[in-house]
Amino acid sequence: MQMRNIGTIFRKEFKDTIRDRRTMLFAFVMPIVAMPLLMTVIFKIQMSAVQKIEGKRSEIVIQNIAQLPLELRDSLMTDTTFQVKTEADFAGKTLMDELKQKAFQALVVVPDNFAKAIELESPTDIEIYYDRAEEVSDAAYSKLKDVMSRYRDRIILSRVVKRQISEDVLKPFEVQGNSVASAKKLAGKMLGGIIPYFLILTCFLGAMSPAIDLGAGEKERAFFKYMANDVAMQQMKGMLNIQLDIQTVILILAIIIPLAGIFAAILLSLSIFAKSAKEAQGYVGFLNIFLVLPAFVSMVPGVELNYQMALIPVVNISLIIKNAIAGTIEWNYVITAFMSLFALAALALYFAKRWFEREEVLFRM
């Protein structure tokens, strides 16, 4: 008997779903079209960002450049992917501090008698300092290492041609990469892009259920003249293996408040417009797909917060949280984002209020 009832209910719900064209459109057709398109756009954005970083001319500083062998020096000076400077261009300044402040992308420290050591086939080292948490700096290090490796291979080849050599001679010098990025900044690069994405998504999903219930759900309850049990909302708590100071926590909590207002207003407006809860869920599911793209921006290499990005909803929050976790808060951009978000939240809430006051929408069945 129970199975028969279940079958009856299933057939009834299935027929209702099939008859609802909007539900079919948003639940099946649009995801099939939208998701591949969205993934393609995200992939192209990533590839474009990586290519832009790799193709960008890297500013490097070579300390003690006179000690470089002439061939290697010429290779670096004539390479169009580098803009080579020396310590003389930063007289009176600490090169390591300048590197951390992004004055240039990489610092090559050449030891004394480096060229002589190469000539005498004596093992030696050359050090490259870079900021691993900055994509442009990491790209500069990779390009420098490639140039050094090619030069080292030429040395090895010339020595092999001359005579049989030992293992030590096969290693004329080693390139040692030393990242100046702090552990906090590096954690911000790795986790800073993921955390705002989940916060934004959680904020959206948190507003979704109450909005559907308050608008379209209330219509259905009035229509069928019975009250259904309220659906409890479950919140997911993620455990982050990262320590945040109180300032960062307060900033993250504060910045998502206007975003929650924007999402709540949009979702409530859609819920009021929808004829049924199913139709509302279709609208919300479709909107959820396109939320992924702006929330994903913080994970795209090379994208940094500026005044333009600070005005784009969701994108600004992603980048602000990413920077806050990395410990690189720029308050001028944060204030700009706050003002734009609160203004947009006020407009969205005002629209939801006016939408709710329209009888032709409120009683649309």
SS3 of residue 281 by DSSP: helix
Tokens 């709710």 sit at which residue? 356
Asked which of 116-125, 179-188, 318-327, 331-340 is least confident by mean pLDDT, the reply is 179-188
**Strand locations in the chain (E):** 58-63, 82-86, 106-109, 124-130, 173-179
| All domains of the chain in start order, with CATH | 21-51+187-230+244-362 (no CATH), 56-181 (3.40.1710)
Rounded CA gap, 26 and 281, in Å?
9
Cα–Cα distance, 59 to 57 (Å, whole number): 7
CB 45 within 8 A of CB 39: no
Comparing CA positions, the residue from 135, 57, 59, 188 lying closest to residue 302 is 135
Model confidence over 70-107: pLDDT tens digits?
Answer: 999 998 999 888 999 999 999 888 999 999 888 999 99
Query: Of 100-104, 183-187, 209-213, where does mean pLDDT reach its minimum?
Result: 209-213
Question: Going along 270-329, which residue ranges are E strands?
Answer: none
- Dump pLDDT digits (tens) for 101-146: 889 999 999 999 999 998 888 888 899 999 887 888 888 999 999 9
Statement: residue 182 has pLDDT above 90: no
User: Using CA atoms, how far apart are residues 267 and 205, in angstroms rounded to an integer?
Assistant: 10
Give the pLDDT of residue 128.
Answer: 93
Which run of H or E residues covers position 223?
Answer: helix 216-224
pLDDT one-digit tens code per residue, 13-58: 666 656 666 656 655 565 566 666 666 776 677 677 777 777 788 8
What does residue 4 show for φ and ψ, rounded to 5 degrees? -65, -40
C-beta separation of 336 from 311 below 8 A = yes
pLDDT at residue 157 in the model? 82
Q: Tell me, letter by letter, the H, E, C secondary structure of 187-209.
A: HHHHHCCHHHHHHHHHHHHHHHH
pLDDT digits (tens, 9 = 90+) for 275-317: 776 677 767 766 776 676 777 776 776 777 888 888 888 888 8
- CB proximity list for 181: less than 8 A, separation 6 or greater: 131, 132, 133, 134, 189
Q: Are 111 and 125 in contact (CB under 8 A)?
A: yes
CB atoms within 10 A of CB 128: 20
Strand partners, 62: 86, 108
Encode 97-118: b = buried (16+ Cβ within 10 Å), e = exposed.
ebbbeeebbbbbbbeeebbebb
pTM of the model: 0.55
Helices and strands: H and E segment counts in the chain: 16, 5
